[in-house]
Amino acid sequence: MVEFMADKDTETQRLPYRLREPFLASTELALFRVLTELMGKRYSICPKVSLNDIFYIVRPNENVHFFNKFFRKHVDFLLCDMQTLTPAFGVEIVRPISKKEVRETDKFLEDLFTDAGLPLVHVPSSESYDPSDVITLFQLAVVKIGGTVPLRIETPTDFVPNCPVCGKMMVLRIDRNGSGVGRKYYGCMDSPRCAGVVSID
């Protein structure tokens, strides 16, 4: 009885986080295994990578709504060069279309990758994958992207940090009052709800 009480106390003192199981759904795990078998020597296969970690938004002051479109979204797998970890392919499992919303998300993801010059491989969801089918889908993605040159940093001022407090996009702001009038800095797009600030030297 005493032991039981002690356990309960320990339980209430734990933070309210628990491990999600499984980390990958069975369809994702099946594809991960095939990708590892086919390309595991050339690429590092990273599951569930946040789009916000792969791409940044140019001219963020004009493009705030584009941030809302991709924040908290991820791509199922990102294949990165083994040495440099430079992204080489995105791989997304396409679920059977049941809602209009799903289709729009897939379309958006495709446009996003294509415009940024990174091939995105769409793989129809399945419990097992044929390696030769997967290779064909990779070839298709490369053909689709054609001669698109990856658009990297256009000008140094195009690169904007993410908010150090909440991780959202930051926008350029100018101090309107106080001792630092005219001073430029990056403020969180969620200001004043979030106080995240990055100063510009």
Q: How many residues bind Zn ion (CB under 5 A)?
A: 8
- Over the window 5 to 24, marking each residue x when it contacts Zn ion by CB under 5 A and - when it does not, the resulting string is --------------------
Q: Is 196 in the site for Zn ion (CB under 5 A)?
A: yes
Nearer to Zn ion, 115 or 175 (CB): 175
Which of 53-61, 81-89, 179-187, 188-196 is the region at the interface with Zn ion (rule: CB under 5 A)? 188-196
Which residue, 56 or 108, has its beta carbon nearer to Zn ion? 56
Question: Of residues 166, 172, 197, 198, which one binds Zn ion by CB under 5 A?
Answer: 166
Which residue shows structure tokens 């493009």? 63
3-state secondary structure the chain: CHHHHHHHHHHHHCCCCCCCCCCCCHHHHHHHHHHHHHHCCCEEEEEEEEHHHHCCCCCCCCCHHHHHHHCCCEEEEEEEECCCCCEEEEEEEECCCCCHHHHHHHHHHHHHHHHHCCCEEEEECCCCCCHHHHHHHHHHHHHHHCCCCCCCCCCHHHCCCECCCCCCEEEEEECCCCCCCCCEEEEECCCCCCCCEEECC
From residue 114 to residue 153, the character string flagging contacts with Zn ion as x (rule: CB under 5 A) and all else as - is: ----------------------------------------
Indicate whether 45 belongs to the interface with Zn ion (CB under 5 A). Answer: no
Under rule CB under 5 A, residue 172 binds Zn ion: no
Peptide bond connecting 22 to the previous residue in cis, omega within 30 degrees of 0: yes
Does 163 engage in binding with Zn ion (CB under 5 A)?
yes
Give the interface segment with Zn ion, choosing from 59-67, 113-121, 139-147, 159-167 (CB under 5 A).
Answer: 159-167
Residues that bind Zn ion (CB under 5 A): 163, 165-166, 168, 188, 190, 194, 196
